[in-house]
Structure 1
Amino acid sequence: GYPPLALHPAAIKLNEPVTVKGDVSSQFLTALLMALPLLDSKSRVEVQGELISRPYVEITLNVMRRFGVEVARREWHSFEVPAARYVSPGKIYVEGDASSASYFLAAGAIGGGPVRVEGVGRDSIQGDVRFTEVLERMGARVSMGDGWIEAAGGKKLKAVDMDLNHIPDAAMTAAVMALFADGPSTLRNIGSWRVKETDRLAAMATELRKLGARVEEGRDSLRISPGKLKTAVIDTYADHRMAMSFSLAALGGVPVRINDPGCVAKTFPEYFSAFASIAAA
C-alpha cells in the first residue's frame, strides 16, 4: 500500500469505468488520463467528489489534444478517452513554470519592482497564471504580453479574502504576501495543502507565526493577520515551495534564515541565485 512499488507487465482490459477521488489531488486523474490512450481502446474515468485543482487537469487535456488525443469532458464528473494513439505535433512550445514565476511577481509587488518574468504570458495554458488576479486584488500593478508578465508595487498591499482552490501552489506565495497587507487576509478552499510534500496548512501557519503574524488555521483555510515582522529561522519540512515562498519575507527588511534551502532542487535548483539577482537589483 505504499512505495516502493513493483510493477509487472500485464494485459489491461477495462470493462467498466475507472473511478478516482477528485477531492484529494488532481494528479491521480491526470496520470490516468495520460496513460489510458496506451490501451488502444475506449475508456471512461469517473470522478468521485468535487474535483480540485481543475486548471491542472485542463493543462493535461490541452497537451493531450496537441498530441492527437481529444478527451471528451462531461462537466468535471467524467472523462471519455478515445481509442487513439499519440501523434507528435512536430514542434511544441514549452512554457516556463507559472508556479515558480509567482515568487518573482510577488517580489515585484512587495519590493516595488517592477519585475518581469519571461516564458509565460497572457496566453498561457497554465492555471497558476491566474496568480495575477491575486496580485491585482492586493493592489499590485500587473501587465502581460506574449510570453511575459510584469508586476510592480510601491504601496501597502491590500488584504484579501479569496478562494484559491484553483491555484494551490501559487496560493502559498499569497500566504507570505499577506504579511505585507493592510489587514487580515483569508485564503480559502486550500485543503489539498494537507496532502502535499508536508501538511502545508500546519507548516505555513507555524512559520508565519515565527515572523510575527497571527494565524488562524482552519480545516481548509488560513486567516493571516500581519504583525511587526521579526527575524526568524524558517523550517521548510523538505518542501521546496515552503523554502521559495518564505524567501519573500526577507523583502520586509528583516533577516530570514531558510533551513534546508537545497530542497528547492526538486523544481528550481537555481532559485536562490535567481532570487538574489533581483533582490540586489
Structure 2
Amino acid sequence: MPDTAIQIQPVKSLDVAISAPPSKAHSLRYIYIAALADGVSRLDHLLLGEDQRHALNAIRSLGVPVELDEIAAAAAIHGTGGRLQAPDNELFIGNSGVGIRFLTPIAALVADGTVTLTGDERMCNGRPIADLLTALAPLGITASSMRDNGLPPLLVQGGGIRGGTTHLRGQASSQYFSAILIAAPFADEDVTIHADGEIKSRPYIDTTIAAMQAFGVTAEVTASGFRVAAGQRYQPLQTAIEGDYSSASYFFAAAAVTGGKIRVDGLRSDSDQGDRYIVEALQTMNCHAEFADDAVELQGGPLAPIETDMSNYPDLVPTLAVVAAFADGTSVFTGVEHLRIKESDRLAATATELQRLGADAEDAGDRLIVRGRAGESMHGATIETYNDHRLAMAFAIAGLRVPGVVITNPGCVAKSFPDFFERLADITAQDRS
C-alpha cells in the first residue's frame, strides 16, 4: 500500500458481497489472554494489523512463545499461566491504546525487575493514561509516567498484583476497566472495581468479559462496577476470531451513500460487538437491513438525518458523519468528547475534513453537527488522515459518490484493516465490469 496518496474511484451502482475481516477488538483481547493461559491456544482468522503485531511482539518479549502462520492468519500462543519474564528492552507498542493499557497491569506479573512501555509520538504526547496509573496503585501495582506528565513512556514494577478495591471514572477510557479485568485473576486477593459515574464505551468491556469467559474466567458485574475472584486460571482455547462490525461499517456506509446494496459475510448476528450499532443507525437514516446467521445485507436509500448518542460507539463517528453529509437535514452526534484522545483528535479532524469536501460540519465541543444537503455541496478534495486509520477509511467512502477525493497516507489503515483499499478497489472494479 503506497503511503503517499490514493484517489478513490466513484461508483454508479453497488450490488456486491464482501467478507468481513477479523475483529480487531477480539483479536487483541484473545492474544493477551492467550499469553496468560495455562497452555497452548490456537487463534484462527486472526487480524494481523499493526496493533496485533505489536501485541505479539510484546508477549514474546515477556517470555511467551508464539508460532505465527502468516498465510493462514493464525497463531499458536504458548501461554505461561501468568509467569512472565522481564524483557531485555523496552516494549514498543506503536499507537495501540489497547496495547499500552492492557500491558500496564500485565507487566506487573513479571517475577522481578521492571518493564518499560512506550509508543510512537502520538502515543507519548496525546494519549493520557493517568487515570489507569492512579487506579492500579490501590491494587499494589507500581506504574508511573516516566516524564511525570500522565503520558507514556511508562515504568512498571514487577513482582505481582496484590488485589483489593479500586475506583475508575466511568468517563475514562473503557480500556482501563478491561486492562484491570484481564490481569485481575492473578492478584493475591479478589479485585473489585468501582465505576464512578456512567461508563462510556461499555460494549467494549462486555467484549472483554466475554473473552475472559471464553478462556474460563468469570468477571462479575456488580451494581457499582466489576469483581474478579482471585485464583481463577485462564484455560487454553482453540477458536476462530469472528468478523468485525467496525471494519464492515465502511462497506455498509458505501451502500448508504451510493444508494446501493451490499452483503457482508462473516458477521455474527449474536455478536457482543457494540459497533453492530452501525446497522441500526443506518436503518434510522432510511436504509434497509436484513440479518442472516452469518451475514448482514444493507440497501441504501434517500438518506435521513440522525440525532444519536455515540458514547458507546466512538469508532463509528467518522463513518456516520460522512454518511450524514449525504443526508437531507441536520444530524447531531453527542457523547463524542473522548474522540479527542484517539489516534488523532478525531472529533476536530472529522469536522475539518468534511468542511474540506464542502460539507457543513461543526465541532461543537461536546457534539458533532453535520448539516446535510443530500451531498449537493460536496466536491473533490485531498483528505488529510492525521495518520488515523478510521479517518482514512471513512473519508474514502465519500469518494464513492464524490469525484476527485484523494486520501493521503493510505498506509495508516494497516493498524486495523491492512487490505482495506484493495477491497475498496475490488468494489469499484465490479461496478465498472
Name the TM-score class by shorter chain.
over 0.9
Q: Confirm or deny that 1:214 pairs with 2:363.
A: no
Whole-Å separation in 2 of the counterparts to 1:81 and 1:59: 16
The aligned runs of 1:22-171 (5 Å cut-off) are 22-75=170-223, 77-88=224-235, 90-153=237-300, 155-171=301-317
Whole-Å separation in 2 of the counterparts to 1:278 and 1:230: 21
Q: Confirm or deny that 1:10 pairs with 2:159.
A: yes
Whole-Å separation in 1 of the counterparts to 2:420 and 2:153: 30
Whole-Å separation in 2 of the counterparts to 1:108 and 1:84: 49
Which range is displaced more, 20-29 or 5-14?
5-14
Contact 1:40-1:85 within 8 A present in 2 as well: no
* Superposition TM-score, scaled by structure 1 size: 0.93
2:351 is matched with which residue?
A: 205
Q: CA deviation at 1:134?
A: 0.5
Contact 1:30-1:60 within 8 A present in 2 as well: yes
Structure whose CA Rg is larger = 2
Contact 1:106-1:151 within 8 A present in 2 as well: no
Q: CA deviation at 1:60?
A: 0.8
1:232 is matched with which residue?
A: 381
Contact 1:186-1:224 within 8 A present in 2 as well: yes
* Superposition TM-score, scaled by structure 2 size: 0.62
More strand by share: 2
Whole-Å separation in 2 of the counterparts to 1:48 and 1:238: 33
What are the superposed Cα offsets for residues 187-212 of structure 1, whole Å, 9 maximum, x if unpaired?
Answer: 11111111111111111110010111
Q: CA deviation at 1:216?
A: 2.2
Q: CA deviation at 1:89?
A: 6.1
Contact 1:97-1:120 within 8 A present in 2 as well: yes
Counterparts in 2 of 1:40 and 1:6: CA distance versus 1, 3 Å: same
> Tell me, what secondary structure is at the counterpart of 1:123?
coil
Contact 2:257-2:398 within 8 A present in 1 as well: no
Q: CA deviation at 1:92?
A: 2.9
Could you tell me the percent identity over the aligned residues? 41
Which range is displaced more, 235-244 or 19-28?
19-28
1:263 is matched with which residue?
A: 412
Whole-Å separation in 2 of the counterparts to 1:4 and 1:113: 46
Contact 1:34-1:64 within 8 A present in 2 as well: yes
Whole-Å separation in 1 of the counterparts to 2:366 and 2:244: 25
> Tell me, what secondary structure is at the counterpart of 2:255?
helix
> Tell me, what secondary structure is at the counterpart of 2:303?
coil
Counterpart code for 2:363? E
Whole-Å separation in 2 of the counterparts to 1:249 and 1:12: 48
Counterparts in 2 of 1:38 and 1:196: CA distance versus 1, 3 Å: same
Counterpart code for 2:292? G
Which range is displaced more, 196-205 or 164-173?
164-173
What are the superposed Cα offsets for residues 108-136 of structure 1, whole Å, 9 maximum, x if unpaired?
Answer: 12223321112213111211112111110
Higher RCO structure, 1 or 2 (CA under 8 Å, sep 6+): 2
326, 335, 344: which one aligns with 1:189? 335
Aligned length: 278
Task: Point out where structure 1 has 5 or more consecutive residues left out of the alignment.
Answer: none
Task: Point out where structure 2 has 5 or more consecutive residues left out of the alignment.
Answer: 1-144, 146-150
